[in-house]
A and B are shown apart, each in its own frame.
Chain A
Amino acid sequence: ETGVTQSPTHLIKTRGQQVTLRCSSQSGHNTVSWYQQALGQGPQFIFQYYREEENGRGNFPPRFSGLQFPNYSSELNVNALELDDSALYLCASSWRDSPYYEQYFGPGTRLTVT
């Protein structure tokens, strides 16, 4: 158990809809990163939030957006859902000022787009 929690566990949406996924970081961590993991692939970095601002982004379109709150929890929002957005969405928390930057992952949210 890492102390990182995500909600919901599973979600089914229809193409074109919008979805919000939530993540609570481990106590003492100030940075949250989001990853998308398609079936059979490794996690792909979406973006990272530090001090409530985006701090790096992978190769994902603007319809993927996020927020970080003062308590360091975070949301991932995806607009105009596409079938290819079906994946396991992982968040990971870390302490930005640590030289080692190990990230601790939550259990993920399984999103299915039909």
Chain B
Amino acid sequence: DAKTTQPPSMDCAEGRAANLPCNHSTISGNEYVYWYRQIHSQGPQYIIHGLKNNETNEMASLIITEDRKSSTLILPHATLRDTAVYYCIVRANTGNQFYFGTGTSLTVIP
């Protein structure tokens, strides 16, 4: 399973775009990149996933580099409610187990 590397913490001003990076240099060709977030003591919440094309939904955008070795989650207009731990996950090659790391703790500042 590909491992991911994320910065432990980031700050973002309210209303600005939050750009959360993730490295997954050992990702295999058929492995998807998923992003989840976890607000304190709640269950993780699915945000977005992608394979090699950039993806956008109502919550966020996902930019995957052409070599697929890294990706960036973009929250276009961060709000205080976006304060959470964000996990970048590469789906296991067999089955659908997810391997979480320690994530990035994003703090949105008023």
| Chain B binds chain A | yes
Binding site for B on A (CB under 8 A): 2, 4, 31, 33, 35, 41-45, 48, 55-56, 58, 88, 90, 92, 94, 96, 100-108, 110
Q: Contact partner of B102 among A42, A107, A108, CB < 8 A?
A: A42
Min distance, Cβ A1 to any Cβ of chain B, angstroms: 10
**Is A55 within 8 A of B46, CB to CB?**
no
CA distance A56 to B83 in the complex (A): 32
Residue of B nearest to A90 (CB): B43
Since A56-B92, A58-B97 are in contact, a sample of 9 more A-B pairs with Cβ atoms closer than 8 Å, ordered by chain A residue number, is: A2-B43, A31-B96, A43-B44, A45-B98, A45-B99, A92-B43, A100-B49, A108-B41, A108-B42
Residues in B whose Cβ lies below 8 Å from that of A58? 97
**Is B100 within 8 A of A48, CB to CB?**
no
**Is A56 within 8 A of B97, CB to CB?**
yes
Residues in B whose Cβ lies below 8 Å from that of A48? 95-97
Min distance, Cβ A8 to any Cβ of chain B, angstroms: 15
B31-83 with Cβ < 8 A to chain A: 32, 34, 36, 41-46, 49
Most buried by A among B44, B45, B103: B44
Min distance, Cβ A53 to any Cβ of chain B, angstroms: 12
- When A and B form their complex, which 5 residue pairs have the shortest distance between CB atoms, in order from nearest? A105-B43, A42-B100, A101-B96, A56-B95, A43-B100
Known: A56-B95, A108-B41. A103 touches B46 (CB 8 A): yes
**Is A107 within 8 A of B96, CB to CB?**
no
Residues in B whose Cβ lies below 8 Å from that of A105? 36, 43-46
Q: Contact partner of B41 among A41, A88, A102, CB < 8 A?
A: A88
**Is B43 within 8 A of A4, CB to CB?**
yes
| Interface status of B7 (Cβ within 8 A of chain A) | no
Known: A42-B102, A42-B103, A100-B49. A33 touches B97 (CB 8 A): yes
**Is A90 within 8 A of B97, CB to CB?**
no
